[in-house]
Amino acid sequence: MDVLNYPFDNGYILKKRKSIKREILSDGTDRIKKKIAVLGGSTTSDIVSVLELFLLNEGIEPEFYECEYAQYWQDVMFENPELLKFSPDIVYIHTSSRNITEKISVKQSACEIEQKLNEQYRHFEVMWDKIKALFGAVIIQNNFELPYYRLLGNKDASDIHGLTNFICRLNMKLYGYSERNENFFINDINYLSASYGLDKWSEPKWWYMYKYCLCLDAVPELCFNISNIIKSIMGKNKKAFALDLDNTLWGGVVGDDGVDGIVIGKETAEAEAYYEFQEYIRAHRDIGVLLTVASKNDEENALAGLNHPDGALKPEDFISVKANWEPKNINIQNIADEIGLLPESFVFVDDNPAEREIVSAQLGVKAPRIGQVDSYIKTLDKNGFFEVTSISMDDLKRNEMYETNAKRNRQKSMFESYEDYLLSLEMNAVIRDFEPVDIQRITQLTNKSNQFNLTTKRFTLSQMEELYKSSGYIRLCGRLTDKFGDNGIVSVVIGKINGESLDIILWLMSCRVLKRDMEYAMLDTLVKNAAQRGIKKLKGYYYPTAKNKMVRTLYSDFGFEKIYEDSEKNTVWSLDINGYGEKNKVITVKE
């Protein structure tokens, strides 16, 4: 819903939240259900109701537990039975500088202040450890905003006796915990309050009157920030940019003004603004975001513009450049098909509101209102489309992998048969049980795969860790390498042992290795492992969604027999593994 896209109107969201909620829910789509405990050190009621809107808008349906006023610590430490019963997937701890209980003063020694700092930190650390032990839940913890007054003036920041100094050091300790604990995320209210305006954010009357640690008007900003963290953990980040060129990546129209006439570089204020924007876009490659172009231009002109000597971006930075006179929604759909992504994984950046309108209406693609060139970066950045919650090696290598994919597609046309082509790729797979280093990538893949995914079952990191420790499952992850490079872990299969049969609760594969027979290699290994465990029968499940049509015949292609179908077309399949013949003929498999 556009009213929930940044830049949004805080007052409008707060006032209209009930009718906004009704409108979001009226679309009738299926959403991922998550249980979220909101544990506050101050009032949280409006935070819960606004956070709900942003999450619903991202396809997540939250069920909330809210602690009694300011009972965040007691609820955890004394194991409130209601909280235990609720058993959250995510715990959000809404604390602020109002919850700092240690008092420091200029009369104390460095040693005493150090001790207070450690005690204040320990107060939180014991709680996080306890949450981890009780629920294994994801923890989202506010850091601390700067104080709204400075007893020592400027020295408040630089002197250990200053509260500002104390808060900064306390925050550093929080970040240390976050580095050591994978399921722990900081909600950076220190940044948010600065960006919003600390004086307004911390306006004390909200505390005196309602025990709010921030002003009501800032609540949507806070909630949007939290929802970005959650959607990123759930694998709902965007993956690619589709960029317009004229008046988006440079000033002017290259087809009319010529390469020499476009505005980019360092010579004028406007040129510098476009240059910094190009640098900002280019930096996204490093965090695994794919860059593509959808522009109404002759291709020759588009490339000439991208080759401008004063630009930061070059044609080779893009996975795909579509410069032609087709409607942009068609071009983006084509780019998506080409690189194996869904259109909704794109963020469309265009200065022209009419183009944004058609692309977002036709494809459901986010097309932010970016305004003038000097606000492009701010608008995209605050939208948090690519919120980083973990940096995996796969993210860093994603551009490379998609580039080699494009190369493979070009090779395809040179072979007699498809099997010849597959053999020429010299594919090697390692298919084996999970190992601890894989769990993060496996969870990420599980939560973002929509198309080649038979059950679309999602797991949090801690659920996956749990499953990894259990002996009641056969787990396989497959890594595929070919002569062009390593594709990383691309397929995950999990079967639950049920006497002499194996229930395949998860079967998925990354679309970047479609039509490579990797699914056959996975099945071969699954059958082998199952036989070793004394299993006689495999049971497969297919639950149709709007996105996984491509695998509706997978089990029948495998030779399974359909044994059940309900009114919603959910199907159950069975395969007797006695007499199974290996299906993969093109991949060399190691275990």
Partner 1 sequence: MDRQVIIKRLNEVFRDVFDDANIVVDAQTTADDIEDWDSIEHINLISAVESEFKIRFTMGEVSGMKNVGEMIEIIEQRA
**Smallest distance from the beta carbon of 39 to partner 1, in angstroms?**
18
For residue 250, what are the CA distances in angstroms to 272, 277, 291, 303, 328? 10, 9, 16, 13, 18
46 or 182, CB closer to partner 1?
A: 46
Q: Does 216 bind partner 1 (CB under 8 A)?
A: yes
Encoded amino acid at 81, one letter: P
222 or 508, CB closer to partner 1?
A: 222
Tell me the C-alpha distance between 147 and 165, whole Å. Answer: 10
Q: Token digits for 284?
A: 């996204």
Say how many residues make up the chain: 591
**Smallest distance from the beta carbon of 49 to partner 1, in angstroms?**
9
Using alpha carbons only, what angle is made at residue 228 by residues 222 and 231, rounded to the nearest 5 degrees? Answer: 140
Tell me the C-alpha distance between 228 and 236, whole Å. Answer: 9
Q: Does 26 bind partner 1 (CB under 8 A)?
A: no
DSSP E strands, 250-374: 290-296, 320-324, 346-349
- Stretch in the footprint of partner 1 (CB under 8 A) among 16-24, 108-116, 226-234, 580-588: 16-24
Helix (H) or strand (E) holding 303: helix 299-306
> Which of 58, 66, 102, 217 contacts partner 1 by CB under 8 A?
217
Using alpha carbons only, what angle is made at residue 13 by residues 8 and 17, rounded to the nearest 5 degrees? Answer: 150
* Nearest Cα residue to 287 out of 390, 375, 187: 390
Q: Does 200 bind partner 1 (CB under 8 A)?
A: no
**Smallest distance from the beta carbon of 396 to partner 1, in angstroms?**
44
> Which of 8, 35, 46, 298 contacts partner 1 by CB under 8 A?
46
> Which of 1, 2, 18, 549 contacts partner 1 by CB under 8 A?
18
191 or 210, CB closer to partner 1?
A: 210
- Provide the b/e sequence for 187-220 (b: ≥16 CB within 10 Å): bbbbebbeebebeebbbeebbeeeebbbbbbbbb
Encoded amino acid at 311, one letter: G
> Which of 7, 8, 16, 577 contacts partner 1 by CB under 8 A?
16
SS3 state at 484: coil
46 or 351, CB closer to partner 1?
A: 46
Sign of CA dihedral 244, 246, 249, 254: positive
Q: Does 15 bind partner 1 (CB under 8 A)?
A: yes
Is the CB of residue 48 less than 8 Å from the CB of residue 94?
A: no
**Smallest distance from the beta carbon of 546 to partner 1, in angstroms?**
30
Q: Does 210 bind partner 1 (CB under 8 A)?
A: yes
125 or 217, CB closer to partner 1?
A: 217
> Which of 29, 45, 105, 372 contacts partner 1 by CB under 8 A?
45
207 or 507, CB closer to partner 1?
A: 207
> Nearest 5°: phi and psi at 92?
-105, 120
Q: Does 418 bind partner 1 (CB under 8 A)?
A: no
Q: Does 3 bind partner 1 (CB under 8 A)?
A: no
**Smallest distance from the beta carbon of 1 to partner 1, in angstroms?**
16
216 or 253, CB closer to partner 1?
A: 216
DSSP E strands, 188-244: 240-243
**Smallest distance from the beta carbon of 205 to partner 1, in angstroms?**
5
* Intra-chain end-to-end CA distance of the chain, in Å: 47
Judged by the rule CB under 8 A, the positions of this chain that interact with partner 1 are: 11, 14-16, 18-19, 22, 45-46, 205, 208-210, 212, 216-217
